[in-house]
Structure 1
């Protein structure tokens, strides 16, 4: 007999279903189900996998509804553990799919990209970051079909920053929180907490605010843009954290781990963590380093030698995001004429 669906009742017409992310240490995505006067609306959907789809459907049944009753899907961001099953939900129910315009643009680029486009972009990006030939060799040897891009569902509605969403009987406002992705949104349920906890309503935080981990912050340049770009994802994330803290939410309902209170205290922890990390990186940058060399020296959840191939690519992107932020702050600078580009801490005097 299959295990019972992991369903959590949060009160006040809000519940969640834990949907497995296959072969991922995060374990699952918490798909939140919000009752409205027209029927249920989902916040995220989970990974596009047959077992995950079965869990979502069984969870909705356990809540006394079904996937056929879903009226809409609010996607916090475009990553496949959040947006993956949106298309299947729409096919089963006719539901609309809504996402911030910046992440809709990412979905559109992914759907329209030529075969091999991502491979070529990634190879050039890694070489520019100082990756060794041993790391880029699999990309150089790949055939066009070796790195197929998914075709995620194209959303049919945009979520506007600050928008009070059209959910009859509910008061749910979008809060644009770029950083983890350019179009990440949190959703603030501006209603009294069902258990009368102190604070202003509840916050569906996606990956932006999690109780025990910090989300990955890497660069989010357009693969069609050959230039270095001028974005500052880490700066965006830190600014967004402060914006969320000012909401004063009584409870946070994230997409991973578990619901929690004390949003302001958690934001303060994350801001302190990133400042401590930036300070540590400046100490490393007393000697000029490429992004790859910096990533090798940064502290991760395991030694660099034990980090697998794909995770090293992600780690280098995170190192680049931190470097970008330090350069924007005037605390580090590229070394003129270096190739690949190395960075060094600025003289504080």
Structure 2
């Protein structure tokens, strides 16, 4: 299997009127990619500038960041031609690797805008190299800029950042470093631009110290929270039934929290995030993770503060 290290640059509306009128928020104007083989050796590269067809002016902030002018793009190929060649170049057996979690979503949005065949009919498994860097070298939570990672790893800076080919080049260098760290590549990600179509396609992924569940679409939050798999609190490590210490609750309607106790694995924190799909429906990303008593007490405090706030509001009315 090959690794496709992908980076995209895009333009956006330069004024509010154009932004509101456009069906496409970000128009891809540059594709850069590095192909690594199974031994993490570079075997090819891809780079192409793309002639814009949606926005005829460069967004000021974007232009200052990536240093591309509209004049440079006038004689380039259009997105469909460039993207088709890029996907053929990728081959058949590969996995995408990107810095952050945005590029694959924007690639698919642009492909949909031009009515191209989709990359996939379900969530795409890929490597978020930004996340992997944090897992390998930091606290698993921080999300650093690419330049920070390059400097941290003492990678020689050969070209300027913020161009697709350059950022793909540097991301590939960082990826090689994180791939050498034991167990890090077990931590893959899923792009959820395309969602599971039914219960059988739902994602249940178990990692070293947490599990992730990605649901199909629901018509609303209530329907999601009435689904037994969404609210299931079985231990993700052994499958045993757990005792609920803190039932599911929400402090903002978007995130739900719970604490349960497994007889074998102790305290487990559950978190449900309600997300909106491209079809304006709801889907769920649930994580389950072993936690210590400090985290349990923080959740209990959050739950109690929510209850107290509700009591005060009822008292005032």
TM bracket, shorter-chain basis: under 0.3
TM-score normalized with structure 2 length: 0.24
TM-score normalized with structure 1 length: 0.22
More strand by proportion, 1 or 2? 2
Which structure has the bigger radius of gyration?
Answer: 2
